[in-house]
Amino acid sequence: MNMTYTAAKTGNRIMLILADHVGRENALPRAEVERLLKVHWIDTGDRKIREAYSAIPIGSCEKGLYTIGSYDDIMDCERYWRPHMSVELLTERVLRLKIMYPQFVPVSGQEQLPLFGEEART
């Protein structure tokens, strides 16, 4: 399969791969994400995968990559990323998650919407 690499295409494919990996506890190892990309779509290296997922609203941790499932996931990302990036980049990435997952961002006096059958929280 001869396919030109694009960060946007790879990012979309990573989002599809991670659809069932919601929350930090369900993180999929980066090596497995890379393997699934190779099997189903495109053979790319770790550096290009990192470039692609840095532009999409997903979480990452020492265990791998995951779809955000709670405000705690967003805060865990911030703690994990903090030593690895500039304040400006960290702020941009965390803000992107908060914008993409507003249902998890607590607002005083407003309940958080549930995800996947969870009870609403106030």
pTM of the entire structure?
0.76
Give one DSSP letter per residue of 24-61, joined into a string. Answer: GGGPBPHHHHHHHHHHHT----HHHHHHHHTTSS-EEE
Q: Is 117 helix (H, G, I), strand (E, B) or coil?
A: coil
Of 9-23, 78-92, 96-110, where does the model show the most confidence?
Answer: 78-92
| 38: pLDDT strictly greater than 90 | no
Identify which of 47, 42, 7, 55 has the alpha carbon closest to the alpha carbon of residue 30: 47
| 1: pLDDT strictly greater than 50 | no
